[in-house]
Structure 1
Amino acid sequence: MSAMWRRAGSILCALAVVSPMVLFVAPPASSATLAWSACDAMVGEAKARAVPTARCGSVAVPIDWTKTDWTKPEGAQANLAVIRIPATGDRIGVLMVNPGGPGASAVDTVAEMGAALAGSAITERFDLVGVDPRGVGHSTPQLRCRTDAEFDAFRRDPLADYSPAGVAHIEQVYRQFAQSCAQRMGTDFLAGVGTATAARDLDVVRVALGEPQISYLGYSYGTELGAAYAAQYPDRVRAMVLDGAIDPDLDPIEHRIRQMAGFQKAFTAYATDCARSPGCPLGTDPAQFVTRYHQLVNPLVQRPGPTSDPRGLSYQDAITGTVNALYSQRYWKFLTSGLLGLARGTDAEDLLLLADDYQGRDAAGRYTNQQDAFTAIGCVDSPYPADPASWAQLDRRAREVAPFLSYGPFTGFAPRDVCTMWPVPPTSSPHQASSPGPGKVVVVSTTGDPATPYSAGIDLARQMDAPLITFEGTQHTVVFNGDACVDTAVVDFLVDSESPPDGLRC
């Protein structure tokens, strides 16, 4: 299959970690309702035509679970968007899918998966279900902290100067973003978008579907949501596949360092492959790959690079476009084309398109809300150190493990993350995941995954007492992306509850 379901947020922002601090009880079945209709209005006519049996709807949940009695459902609510594609054969139950982010739309993903997996054992035996968490995708209210014009302006700023004055400027940009988010969404809404709440919301949808248990497939951040659900509702898990695992026991600093190291590994793999072709913009000497890359992108701090788009290519967009390409080898050719355009001084359009794809900008200049949701969810999912010294230390370590991402010399100063300025406190903290029971979970991890490094898969499998499927490759996530070895093992587990062989490597 050609689809790649989709990514965790990259090194450009920190990933979230969530703690199962409270075991929630689901609301009475009578209080969770779901009315179905055609999906055209939600996913668009083209996607709806590709899965004509799909039905869409929404489930209401309270903005603040602590202030709501389901017998008295007054107060502010959010509406979770839901898609369901019925099984075509001997039905087992529902397979809920979350594509990651946080902030990616499960509704859109399931619409695409339903078409791509048509005729497979998965669509025959399971209703495919996607639930957009509160604030995400097609759910309402949609979490938006900035306008399209404001996002464009943000991307034009290099955010690369780590002098004291430069750090002060970057932190002011972050502070303004946090304040804008509070003003536009309200602190009550922002306080309730964490992963623990999303897991509780997911169980409300289970009740509305009338299902005693769910099967679940989570990609990237979706593994974190799945692990949170398994901790809160272990008896409601039938089977769970977690692909592109996040280790919930890591603090944000350590997670970011490991992720940066993963992207450096992917960059080296890309550059090595590029060097096999004549005219590679990074040359043929491995010792010079990073230096050549800096020679191409660092001048963009002072002046945008050439593109047919009047925006030009900013420094921030060059880095974002590069990172996007490192998620999958199928994007490498576009990275090469963009870097060649920079080297020749002609047109680096492909790097800008890669950055637009990552940031969710369409040709008309409209953005999805994925990046705003990503930040808001991550900021309440873990505490971030507020002292500047921690972030200077992060910068020092990052330059060691991921030199291709570093600009200029180490200064001893670095901006604190936007989450240190967030208008609501974190609601969770790092923790170890727990098992919902023997034989219920399988973890999949890719050796060269840049966004969710392989070691996280090993750690998550150990914490959940689950078998690990290892995929040898350089990409982010693999299930149902065309590898027969992985897909056969996953289908056998989901359909027949057959665990993969010990130590399976694909």
Structure 2
Amino acid sequence: MRLFRPVAVAFVAALTVLGCSAPAAVQPPSDAGVPAELEQFYRQSVRWESCAGYGTDGPVLARNGVECARISVPLDYGDPAGETVSIALSRSRAGGERIGSLLTNPGGPGASGLSVALVADGTPVAERFDVIGMDPRGIGSSEPGIVCRTAAETDADRALDPGDTSPAGIAEAEKLNREYADLCAERTGVDVLAHVGTREVVRDMDVVRGVLGDDRLNYLGFSYGTRIGAEYAQKFPDRVRAMVLDGAIDPDQDPVEEMLLQAEGFQRAFEDFANYCAGYDGCPLGTDPSQAVERFRALVGPLLETPAPTTDPRGLSYGDAITGVQQALYSPALWGSLRGGLESLATSGTGDTLLLLADLYEGRGDDGSYSNITAAFDAVRCVDDEPVTDRALAGEIDTRFREAAPFLDDGRGNGSAALDVCAFWPVPPTSGTEVADLSGLAPVLVVSTTADPATPYLAGVELAEYLGGALVTFEGTQHTVVFDGEECVDSAVTRYLIDLEVPGSDPHC
């Protein structure tokens, strides 16, 4: 789950080239839970092929022996005889005795999931499951895709001042947000935008389960993927074999409160980074972590007036500097890059590293093209949750956000704020809040990290309690941890997925 926008986990970047496994046996579609009106979708055959033509990650996936395919699902499940959309899938086949398929989701919303087919590579889980990646409807290689801005328009938007709270600044921001919403409607289509929410993705997941031949679902969801998983469990409780939810979103959490808790999480991650940085000579935030916020604000504040030069002609805007910092705070693996980026800004006034981090967050490739992660994030969240349309409430949220995350406070708070794009979205929210009957749901395993900057630890505690599941606690400062090399966590997840062994108490890793 991103701060405002989701982060795509770069699973592919660290992959090694593997040999292809032997051809897999064809799995007939499952007969479990097939509604008569949707029979043609549940019983469709899947034609697996090379991933080479599936997005920017496709060639790497193909070299790693991953196969890809597309299946059809209804655009509107209320009209199954109407228009259809295409869902892109990837498959890393089980290397040994197969239990079934393990469907995965990397989070977002908006992140492509195809490369997550290799998230368990080299583990016993990859031996026993076909690991399945999925691009949810409208995202990545699924068709039609959610389209809002062009690459040039996105570059221009990133260069703008994101936080002018003067009356003129707020009016201009709302004008741009309204124009952006109109572009999304024009370039994607209102009918598509009305059917890209979690409500539809959950139905798509069950079709995927059926066509892959599994009577019950095995699922691994990260971040926003925990919301998808939880809603699947609520809608289809009797169709879950095993479900791991890592980096949880509390289904009962108010979206505004969720955002404010996220701000607190990023502040804690910034403070942990400042402590780490203070151990290095020349740390741009100084040797006293208590002064880190003040030094950081002095370092990035001037970018509001003058972007920092970069080898890329765009330069580093204030907004991109903040975005780059947010990207790095998701994982200690990026703290070295963040320290170097801030050091370059402090010593030479250049912003290349922070711009690269911001590009990673925004889904910008080396060729200047963009994935649709940002457009998809906006499209999904605007139909998943009620928008804030009260300007007084928007101003109160802005004030509370600055208090929760002072390292992000540019000093221009005045109790006023622009309404964000969802206030101008061309279709209404679609996700409901009905109470679910969870009888028949198999035990779910929730993994929660104590200092997760994006999804608070307590959300995992509450999600496990809500679903009547088990909890694994990881002591650390990062966003999600399953199959990240932490043996304590991975062994618990492996035993659960393969043997359905549920921890008797909360293991602290």
Q: Deviations over 1:33-57 (max 9, x none)?
A: 122222222243332111x2x3321
- Aligned ranges 1:75-224 → 2 under 5 Å: 75-110=82-117, 112-113=118-119, 117-118=121-122, 120-224=123-227
- The one-letter code of the counterpart of 2:59 is E
Aligned 8 A contact 1:191 1:380 in 2: yes
SS for the counterpart of 2:376 is helix
* 1:505 pairs with 2:508: yes
Alignment of 1:213-292 (within 5 A): 213-292=216-295
1:474: which partner in 2? 477
Aligned partner letter, 1:103: G
Task: Answer yes or no: is 1:460 the counterpart of 2:468.
Answer: no
SS in 2 for 1:140: coil
Q: Distance in 2 between matches of 1:288 and 1:192?
A: 47
* TM-score (normalizing by structure 1): 0.91
1:307/1:346 contact within 8 Å kept: no
Counterpart AA for 2:113? A
Q: 1:56 aligns with which of 63, 68, 74?
A: 68
Q: CA deviation at 1:439?
A: 4.5
Supply the AA of the counterpart residue of 1:60: S
Report the equivalent of 2:21: none
Distance 2:36 2:166 in 1: 51
* Partner residue in 2 for 1:360: 363
| Counterpart Cα distance in 2 of 1:418 and 1:24 | 38
TM-score of the pair, normalised by structure 2: 0.91
Q: CA deviation at 1:60?
A: 0.8
Whole-angstrom CA distance in 2 between matches of 1:307 and 1:490: 43
Give distance in 1, aligned partners of 2:233 and 2:380: 19
Question: Match for residue 18 of structure 1?
Answer: none
Aligned structure 1 segments of 4 or more residues deviating by more than 3 angstroms: 11-14, 23-32, 429-439
User: Is the alpha carbon distance of 1:221 and 1:377 closer, same or farther for their aligned partners in structure 2, counting shifts above 3 Å?
Assistant: same
* CA shift for structure 1 position 339: 1.1
Query: Which runs of 5 or more structure 2 residues have no equivalent in the other structure?
Result: 8-32
- Give the structure, 1 or 2, with the largest relative contact order (CA under 8 Å, sep 6 or more): 1
Q: Partners of 2:189 and 2:315 in 1: how far apart?
A: 35
Aligned to 1:3: none
For structure 1, the residue ranges without an aligned partner over 5 or more in a row are: 1-7, 15-22
How much is the aligned-residue C-alpha RMSD, in angstroms?
1.9
Deviation, 1:137, is 1.1
Q: Cα–Cα, structure 1 residues 49 and 422, in superposed 2: closer, same or farther, change >3 Å?
A: same
SS of alignment partner, residue 66 of structure 1: coil
Q: 1:184 to 1:89 in 2, by over 3 A?
A: same
Find 1:47's aligned residue among 58, 61, 66.
61
Deviation at 1:108, TM superposition (A): 2.0
| 1:399 aligned onto 2:402 | yes
SS, match of residue 242 in structure 1: strand
Q: How has the CA–CA distance of structure 1 residues 338 and 31 changed in structure 2, closer, same or farther, with 3 Å as cutoff?
A: closer
- Deviation of 1:65 after TM superposition, in Å, equals 1.9
- Cα-to-partner distance string for 1:125-171 (whole Å, 9 max, x where unaligned): 11111221110111011111110001101100021211111111111
Cα deviation, residue 501, structure 1: 3.4
| C-alpha spacing 1:436/1:315, structure 2 compared with 1 (3 Å) | farther
Q: Give 3-state SS (helix, strand or coil) of 2:168's partner.
A: helix
Deviation of the 1:27 alpha carbon: 5.1
Are the equivalent residues in 1 in contact too, given 2:6–2:109 (CA < 8 A)? no
Deviations 1:272-310 (A, max 9, x none): 111121111111223321111111111111110121211
**2:423 alignment partner in structure 1:** 420
Question: How many residues are treated as equivalent by the alignment?
Answer: 480
